[in-house]
Amino acid sequence: MRGEQGAAGARVLQFTNCRILRGGKLLREDLWVRGGRILDPEKLFFEERRVADERRDCGGRILAPGFIDVQINGGFGVDFSQATENVCSGVALVARRILSHGVTSFCPTLVTSPPEVYHKVVPQIPVKSGGPHGAGVLGLHLEGPFISREKRGAHPEAHLRSFEANAFQDLLATYGPLDNVRIVTLAPELGRSHEVIRELTARGICVSLGHSVADLRAAEDAVWSGATFITHLFNAMLPFHHRDPGIVGLLTSDRLPAGRCIFYGMIADGTHTNPAALRIAHRAHPQGLVLVTDAIPALGLGNGRHTLGQQEVEVDGLTAYVAGTKTLSGSIAPMDVCVRHFLQATGCSVESALEAASLHPAQLLGLEKSKGTLDFGADADFVVLDDSLHVQATYISGELVWQAEAARQ
């Protein structure tokens, strides 16, 4: 448990010979950890008059906050949207396997499904701290069913719904209790969406706009009602048009509430977004970019046919399609691949690429005091990376939870 068992007495760990991401820069500093949290060594020296109990040499590598994936539909054969008999073990398997991708926290995502599936699955995936068993669950991301028919993408048409009749009550009836829910993706052009958005926001649930044909005005209004995220920018929304930029226009809108930063998910797998489009978005609004995998159950499985939601998908290399069509079905690029691709495609700094996968998703979820940073007091969830941003080791609460083969003794 973090910081609870008399942290003052707990072992002090000092990670040396490394560069840490702090304050948007890679600094040549040591990282100190105690009781599962990042420790202020100056305070330790002058107030407690203590030194480290153990030093670990990081071989000159980069230490970055652990990656946070806020959109992942499953992986390694597990489909979060399937109401199986062993939902928990499925989530646990994915949680453990994504450690090797540098992901230390995630939001299991459910695509459009019938109410029975939500009622069965949602209560079985509670928020959970990460550890050697796997990445932490921050809450569920429910993508659909309150989305646009025209922009449903791979979501099954039969299960799309509206909340025109009873607004929030319809949503509750569909999903069941929302205790475990962190993010809801919906289309704001649906009738009474503003009531729903306000209600969700009031409950601390992040509302994301996606799978929508909303124009810029409707999108801005949705942001005023409380929406803070855009689900996989460019995909499943109207294309940017110079007289109506649509949801994409939120990135540079001057009609948003003062001081509010709109975040947007980007799948930087080399397939879902053309690098030029990635660059346009990044240059327009770098602070809001959140890397997501939108990974499907086929992540980590290889070529062939697999299940996603209520549909079948076909995997071919690094691309997955709705079986028998050319519609993209979701990505199978792991988060660290996305980070590297994003870095290479945009030519941004290493710091920016790392923040897009850690700090920004933490800020989106209002967790930046404890996640997504290596500031003093934050949870000691971090990744050890080589200069080409390949994951060498993953730590949660200051404990080594995964290590690359080459790094093992």
Partner 1 sequence: MRLVILDNYDLASEWAAKYICNRIIQFKPGQDRYFTLGLPTGSTPLGCYKKLIEYHKNGHLSFKYVKTFNMDEYVGLPRNHPESYHSYMWNNFFKHIDIDPNNAHILDGNAADLQAECDAFEKKIKEAGGIDLFVGGIGPDGHIAFNEPGSSLVSRTRLKTLAMDTILANAKYFDGDLTKVPTMALTVGVGTVMDAREVMILITGAHKAFALYKAIEEGVNHMWTVSAFQQHPRTIFVCDEDATLELRVKTVKYFKGLMHVHNKLVDPLFSMKDGN
Annotated binding site for Zn(2+): 143, 211, 232
Which stretches within 298-349 are classed as H helix?
Answer: 335-346
Residue from 43, 255, 283, 369 in contact with partner 1 (CB under 8 A): 43
Q: Give SS3 for 81.
A: coil
Stretch that binds partner 1, among 2-10, 49-57, 178-186, 323-331 (CB under 8 A): 49-57
Q: How far is the CB of 139 from partner 1 (least distance, A)?
A: 34
374 belongs to the binding site for partner 1 (CB under 8 A): no
28 belongs to the binding site for partner 1 (CB under 8 A): no
Which residues belong to the annotated binding site for substrate?
A: 154, 235-236, 243, 272, 328-330
Q: How far is the CB of 42 from partner 1 (least distance, A)?
A: 5
Neighbours of 340 (CB within 10 A): 18
55 belongs to the binding site for partner 1 (CB under 8 A): no
51 belongs to the binding site for partner 1 (CB under 8 A): yes
Task: Report d(CA 330, CA 110) in Å as an integer.
Answer: 13
What residues contact 355, with CB distance under 8 A and at least 6 apart?
21, 24
First to last CA, the chain: 27
Residue from 41, 75, 249, 288 in contact with partner 1 (CB under 8 A): 41
Of 153, 132, 134, which is closest to residue 144 (Cα–Cα)? 153
42 belongs to the binding site for partner 1 (CB under 8 A): yes
Output the CA angle 199-239-237, nearest 5 degrees: 30
As given in the structure block, the two tokens for residue 86 are: 């062993």
Per the CB < 8 A criterion, the answer to whether 63 and 15 are in contact is yes
375 belongs to the binding site for partner 1 (CB under 8 A): no
Residue 149 or residue 369: which is nearer to partner 1 going by CB? 369
Residue 63 or residue 365: which is nearer to partner 1 going by CB? 63
Q: How far is the CB of 385 from partner 1 (least distance, A)?
A: 23
- The residues carrying an active-site annotation are 294
Task: Report d(CA 20, CA 24) in Å as an integer.
Answer: 10
Residue 44 or residue 345: which is nearer to partner 1 going by CB? 44
CA separation, residue 39 to residues 63, 233, 289, 405 (Å): 15, 37, 28, 29
Which residues belong to the annotated binding site?
A: 143, 154, 211, 232, 235-236, 243, 272, 328-330
Q: How far is the CB of 19 from partner 1 (least distance, A)?
A: 15
Of 214, 260, 221, which is closest to residue 237 (Cα–Cα)? 214
Which stretches within 226-284 are classed as H helix?
Answer: 275-284
49 belongs to the binding site for partner 1 (CB under 8 A): yes
Residue 12 or residue 209: which is nearer to partner 1 going by CB? 12
Stretch that binds partner 1, among 42-50, 219-227, 236-244, 270-278 (CB under 8 A): 42-50
Would you call the peptide bond into 297 cis, given omega within 30 degrees of 0 as the criterion?
A: no
50 belongs to the binding site for partner 1 (CB under 8 A): yes
Residues lying near partner 1 in the complex (CB under 8 A)? 30, 40-46, 48-51
